[in-house]
Amino acid sequence: MATWEKIDSFKKRVKKEGVTMTYLFVSEMRIPPEVVAASLESYYQVPFMRFDPNVIPPKKLLKKLNMSYLRRQLWVPLAGELDDELVILIDDPSDVSRHMEIQRALPAKKYIFRVGFAEDILQY
């Protein structure tokens, strides 16, 4: 069971060691990834998505973005068209500042967010 002290310790390690909370929950607390995924989905109220090698982000969208920027910001466009509807995989769908950055970088009428593990986002 996670305690607030353990979570605070993990937060410090995330910054210091460059690992993710997901990694620490799964590897050290032995919480199954499916349970962490369900928790994220419930918390953010958006569908969870794992890496799927059959889903290929549209090249025309990726051309407009800097890959190192996407790695740092932990989001990736997975489907859609500019000026229409875009599907975005992100590690924190509640991050308003990143929403604004996404809107500036990829103007669309509608954004559909999916939450994912940082490790999965980086695989794209």
Residue with tokens 């604004």: 100
Distance in angstroms (rounded) separating the CA atoms of residues 61 and 74 = 16
Does position 2 have pLDDT exceeding 70, yes or no? no
pTM (predicted TM-score)? 0.85
CA distances from 64 to 75, 82, 101, 105 (A): 14, 11, 13, 7
Please state, for a pLDDT cut of 90, what percent of the chain lies above it. 73
Distance in angstroms (rounded) separating the CA atoms of residues 48 and 45 = 9
Please state, for a pLDDT cut of 70, what percent of the chain lies above it. 98
Q: What is the mean pLDDT of residues 86-115?
A: 95
